[in-house]
Amino acid sequence: MSENYQPHAIEVKWQQKWEDSRLYRSQVDWDKPKHYALTMLPYPSGDLHIGHWFAMTPSDARARWMRMKGYNVLFPMGFDAFGLPAEQAAISRNIHPWKWTYANLERMREQMRSMGAMFDWEREAISCTPEYYKWSEWFFKRFYEHGIAYRGSALVNWSETLQTVLANEQVIDGKDERTGQPVVHKMMEQWFFRITKYADELLNFEGLDWPEPIKIMQTNWIGRSEGARAAFHTAVGNHPIEIFTTRPDTLWGATFMVLAPEHALVDVITTPEQRASVDEYVKETALETEIERMLEHREKTGVFTGAYAINPVNDEKIPIWIADYVMITYGAGAIMAVPGHDQRDFEFAKAHDLPIRVVIQPGDMTEALTVEAMSAAYDGPGVMVNSDAMDGSLSSDAKGRKNPAIARVIDWLEATGKGEEAINYRLHDWLISRQRYWGGPIPMIYDGDEIIPVPDEDLPVLLPEDVDFMPTGRSPLTYHEPFFKVDETRRRETDTLDTFMCSSWYQLRYLSPDCDAAPFDAEEAAYWLPVDVYTGGAEHAVMHLLYTRFFTKVLRDLGLYDDAVAAMRRHGRDPEGAFDEPMTILRNQGQVLGGERQGDFVLCSGRAVGERMLAHRVEVVDWNQVPPGFDGVFGELAHRTEDVLHVEMAGITQFVKVERDAEVIIPDIPGKNNVNQLRHHLEIQRMSKSKGNVVNPDELVEKYGADVVRCYLMFNFDWQKGGPWNENNIKGPQGWLHDVWDIVVAGAPTSPGAADAERDIERKLHQSIAVINRGLEDFSFNTAIAEQMKFKNYLKAALREEKIGARCWWEIINPTLRLLAPFAPHIAEELWARLGFDYSVHTQSWPAYDAEKAREEQVDLVVMINGKPRETIPVDVDIAKELAVTLALESAAAKRSLSGEAPKRAIFIPGRNGTDPKVNVVV
CB of 324 to RNA, least distance (A): 6
Q: Is 782 in the site for RNA (CB under 7 A)?
A: yes
Q: Is 625 in the site for RNA (CB under 7 A)?
A: no
3-state secondary structure of 340: coil
Burial pattern 166-197, b for ≥16 Cβ within 10 A else e, equals bbbbbbeebbbeeeeebbebeebebbbbbbbb
CB of 535 to RNA, least distance (A): 16
Q: Is 659 in the site for RNA (CB under 7 A)?
A: no
At 131, the amino acid letter reads E
Footprint of RNA on 463-522 (CB under 7 A): none
Q: Is 266 in the site for RNA (CB under 7 A)?
A: no
When the beta carbons of 659 and 739 are compared against RNA, the nearer one is: 739
Stretch that binds RNA, among 33-41, 654-662, 847-855, 866-874 (CB under 7 A): 866-874
The correct pick among 331, 460, 476, 635 for binding RNA (CB under 7 A) is 331
Footprint of RNA on 195-224 (CB under 7 A): 212-213, 216-217, 220-221, 223
The correct pick among 13, 107, 185, 344 for binding RNA (CB under 7 A) is 344
3-state secondary structure of 489: coil
Footprint of RNA on 882-911 (CB under 7 A): 905, 907, 909
The correct pick among 121, 330, 484, 849 for binding RNA (CB under 7 A) is 330
Alpha carbon distance 347, 335 (integer Å): 15
Footprint of RNA on 144-203 (CB under 7 A): 172
Q: Is 922 in the site for RNA (CB under 7 A)?
A: yes
Stretch that binds RNA, among 545-553, 808-816, 830-838, 913-921 (CB under 7 A): 913-921
Footprint of RNA on 665-724 (CB under 7 A): 703, 715-718, 721-724
Q: Is 350 in the site for RNA (CB under 7 A)?
A: no
The correct pick among 238, 370, 690, 728 for binding RNA (CB under 7 A) is 728
| SS3 per residue for 47-87 | CCCHHHHHHHHHHHHHHHHHHHCCCEEECCCEECCCCHHHH
132 touches 126 (CB < 8 A)? yes
When the beta carbons of 135 and 348 are compared against RNA, the nearer one is: 348
Footprint of RNA on 540-599 (CB under 7 A): 542
CB of 719 to RNA, least distance (A): 8
The region that residue 883 occupies, defined by phi over 0 for left and psi between -120 and 50 for alpha, beta otherwise, is alpha
* CA separation, residue 397 to residues 220, 248, 375, 379, 382 (Å): 20, 14, 21, 9, 9
Q: Is 8 in the site for RNA (CB under 7 A)?
A: no
When the beta carbons of 101 and 920 are compared against RNA, the nearer one is: 920
336 touches 243 (CB < 8 A)? yes
Residue whose C-alpha is closest to residue 673's, from 658, 652, 651: 658
Q: Is 423 in the site for RNA (CB under 7 A)?
A: no
Q: Is 864 in the site for RNA (CB under 7 A)?
A: yes
The correct pick among 92, 289, 598, 726 for binding RNA (CB under 7 A) is 726
The correct pick among 64, 109, 509, 918 for binding RNA (CB under 7 A) is 918
The correct pick among 124, 563, 580, 916 for binding RNA (CB under 7 A) is 916
3-state secondary structure of 445: strand
Taking every pair of C-alpha atoms in the chain, what is the biggest distance, in angstroms?
Answer: 112
When the beta carbons of 548 and 788 are compared against RNA, the nearer one is: 788
When the beta carbons of 237 and 240 are compared against RNA, the nearer one is: 240
CB of 781 to RNA, least distance (A): 10
Residue whose C-alpha is closest to residue 141's, from 433, 398, 453: 453
User: Prior bond to 749 cis, omega within 30?
Assistant: no
3-state secondary structure of 878: coil
Q: Is 262 in the site for RNA (CB under 7 A)?
A: no
Size of site (CB under 7 A) for RNA:
87
Taking residues 293 to 322 in sequence order and writing x for each that binds RNA by CB under 7 A, - otherwise, the string is xxxx-x-x----------------------
Alpha carbon distance 695, 689 (integer Å): 10
Alpha carbon distance 814, 807 (integer Å): 11
The correct pick among 786, 833, 887, 889 for binding RNA (CB under 7 A) is 786
143, exposed or middle or buried, with CB in 10 Å at 0-12, 13-18, 19+?
buried
* CA separation, residue 500 to residues 82, 127, 186, 486 (Å): 9, 10, 22, 28
Footprint of RNA on 109-148 (CB under 7 A): none
Stretch that binds RNA, among 93-101, 138-146, 243-251, 308-316 (CB under 7 A): 243-251
Q: Is 373 in the site for RNA (CB under 7 A)?
A: no
At 132, the amino acid letter reads Y
Q: Is 244 in the site for RNA (CB under 7 A)?
A: yes
CB of 542 to RNA, least distance (A): 7
User: What is the full DSSP assignment across 5-39?
Assistant: --HHHHHHHHHHHHHHTTTT-----TTS-EEEEEE
Phi, psi of 184 (to 5 degrees): -120, 155
Stretch that binds RNA, among 19-27, 238-246, 443-451, 693-701 (CB under 7 A): 238-246
Alpha carbon distance 905, 286 (integer Å): 77
When the beta carbons of 70 and 735 are compared against RNA, the nearer one is: 735
The correct pick among 732, 806, 839, 898 for binding RNA (CB under 7 A) is 732
When the beta carbons of 1 and 373 are compared against RNA, the nearer one is: 1
Cα within 13 Å of Cα(814), Cβ side: 14
* Length reported for the chain: 923
When the beta carbons of 835 and 907 are compared against RNA, the nearer one is: 907
CB of 726 to RNA, least distance (A): 6
Stretch that binds RNA, among 17-25, 149-157, 186-194, 867-875 (CB under 7 A): 867-875
When the beta carbons of 74 and 328 are compared against RNA, the nearer one is: 328
Residue whose C-alpha is closest to residue 118's, from 180, 170, 71, 74: 74
Q: Is 327 in the site for RNA (CB under 7 A)?
A: yes
The correct pick among 237, 559, 735, 747 for binding RNA (CB under 7 A) is 735
The correct pick among 124, 643, 742, 811 for binding RNA (CB under 7 A) is 742
When the beta carbons of 134 and 341 are compared against RNA, the nearer one is: 341
Q: Is 790 in the site for RNA (CB under 7 A)?
A: yes
When the beta carbons of 485 and 731 are compared against RNA, the nearer one is: 731
Which secondary-structure segment (H or E) carries 132?
helix 130-145
When the beta carbons of 299 and 466 are compared against RNA, the nearer one is: 299
CB of 224 to RNA, least distance (A): 9
When the beta carbons of 780 and 844 are compared against RNA, the nearer one is: 780
Residue whose C-alpha is closest to residue 436's, from 93, 128, 182: 128
Footprint of RNA on 22-81 (CB under 7 A): none
CB of 4 to RNA, least distance (A): 5
688, exposed or middle or buried, with CB in 10 Å at 0-12, 13-18, 19+?
exposed
395 touches 379 (CB < 8 A)? no
- Edge-to-edge strands of the sheet including 430-431? 164-166, 149-159, 183-193, 430-431
At 621, the amino acid letter reads V
Stretch that binds RNA, among 83-91, 195-203, 326-334, 548-556 (CB under 7 A): 326-334
Q: Is 725 in the site for RNA (CB under 7 A)?
A: no
657 touches 613 (CB < 8 A)? yes
The DSSP output letter for 813 is H
Q: Is 227 in the site for RNA (CB under 7 A)?
A: yes
Alpha carbon distance 594, 596 (integer Å): 7
